[in-house]
Amino acid sequence: MIDYDQEFDFETEYEDDADVDEALDNLIITLGEKIVEEETGTQVIVPHRVQHVMYTYKLMKYLCKGSGATVQYFLHEPFTSVGYVRVTGENLEFGHPEWFDRAVELADNLDICPLTNGKIQMDFTFHGITKHID
Amino acid sequence: MAIKCWDILNEVLTEATSQFAPTMTPNYDRVQKVKIFCNHVDTFAAEMDATEYHVNVNEENTDITVEVTCPLVYVEDRGDAFYKLARVSERFGFKENKDGDIVVSFVIPGVWEGLS
């Protein structure tokens, strides 16, 4: 586990721009190394976690029926162990709040942002869809 | 946001109550639930850096719609106000306004009941 305070020395009062640049470079390099470490090695699918993704996908597909919204799911993106369900539409409206609530509960997080084309994008992110076997 | 949801909603409810009188009157218990709902809206607004509230009462079915405008919505924890709002709403939705912000709308049942 990374001790972020120690690693990136957040308490430092930077003397000049070069100090800030160096700190940011170190941050990127360390995070990159961490990701490479996570991505290498043999991993196996965690079936019940993938089912969470599929359940949320099907549920959102049903809740968005007739609304013109697009519902997609992605596995192993942007990293091997991550998947997400994406809902895109102009005016997203949901009944059955308890079902929506269930989908949010299964996901690790939900973020909703506006797009430049006037649509709304909603991402349900799922971590842990694979695990290392070593 | 210094303005509280209940401050706005209370004004709208008062106006709507005068419109619905004398056939309908507010139910005290339902008004109390709406007050709690408003507290969650304020928490949600603070969490999302909301910039605007808009409250509307549907004159036909008396449903109350509360719209909260914010730049982004991010939900991570089951304790987040969004969960509480979603759970008590009849329905809710998201759309983009002309400034590129997200308008989150929560629809709850009205507080009025017919006089018998």
**Domain check: are A32 and A49 in the same one?**
no
Q: Which of residues 111-130 of A touch B (CB under 8 A)?
A: 111-116, 118-120, 122
In chain B, residues with a C-beta closer than 8 Å to the C-beta of A116 are 100
What is the model's pLDDT at position A58? 96
In chain B, residues with a C-beta closer than 8 Å to the C-beta of A98 are 87
Count of domains for chain B: 1
Residue A126 CA: distances (Å) to CA of A105, A106, A119, A122, B76: 10, 8, 23, 13, 11
Question: What are the tens digits of pLDDT across the range A64-87?
Answer: 998 899 999 999 988 889 999 999
Question: B12 in contact with A at a CB cutoff of 8 Å?
Answer: no
- In this structure, of A90-99, B32-41, B78-87, B93-102, the range with the lowest mean pLDDT score is B78-87
In chain A, residues with a C-beta closer than 8 Å to the C-beta of B72 are 111-113
What is the model's pLDDT at position A13? 74
Average pLDDT over residues B59-64: 89
Cα within 13 Å of Cα(B92), Cβ side: 22
Whether residue B27 lies inside any domain: the answer is yes
**Domain check: are A28 and A56 in the same one?**
no
Q: Do B91 and A113 touch (CB under 8 A)?
A: no
Give the confidence band of B34 by pLDDT, cuts at 50, 70, 90.
very high
**Domain check: are A71 and A118 in the same one?**
yes
Compute the mean pLDDT over every residue in chain A, rounded to the nearest whole number. Answer: 87
Query: 3-class SS at A95?
Result: coil
Count of domains for chain A: 2
Question: B73 in contact with A at a CB cutoff of 8 Å?
Answer: yes
Q: What does the block give as tokens for B72? A: 């982004």
**Domain check: are A83 and A115 in the same one?**
yes
Query: Would the pLDDT of A105 be above 60?
Result: yes
Q: Provide the ipTM.
A: 0.78
Q: Domain span at residue A54?
A: 43-132
Whether residue B116 lies inside any domain: the answer is no
**Domain check: are A68 and A56 in the same one?**
yes
Q: How far is A75 from chain B (nearest CA, A)?
A: 20
In chain B, residues with a C-beta closer than 8 Å to the C-beta of A100 are 86, 92
Give the confidence band of A16 by pLDDT, cuts at 50, 70, 90.
confident
Q: Do B102 and A118 touch (CB under 8 A)?
A: no
Rounded distance, CA A63 to CA A95, Å? Answer: 8
Give the confidence band of A12 by pLDDT, cuts at 50, 70, 90.
low
Domain of residue B90, CATH code: 3.30.565
Give the confidence band of A119 by pLDDT, cuts at 50, 70, 90.
very high
What is the model's pLDDT at position B105? 94
**Domain check: are A35 and A48 in the same one?**
no
**Domain check: are A109 and A47 in the same one?**
yes
Question: What are the tens digits of pLDDT across the range B73-98?
Answer: 988 877 788 888 888 888 899 999 98
Structure-model confidence comparison of residues A55 and A6, the more confident one: A55
Q: Say what the alpha-carbon torsion angle A78, A108, B94, B71 is, to the nearest 10 degrees.
A: -70
Asked, as a colleague might, if the bond just before A97 is cis with ω within 30 of 0, I would say: no
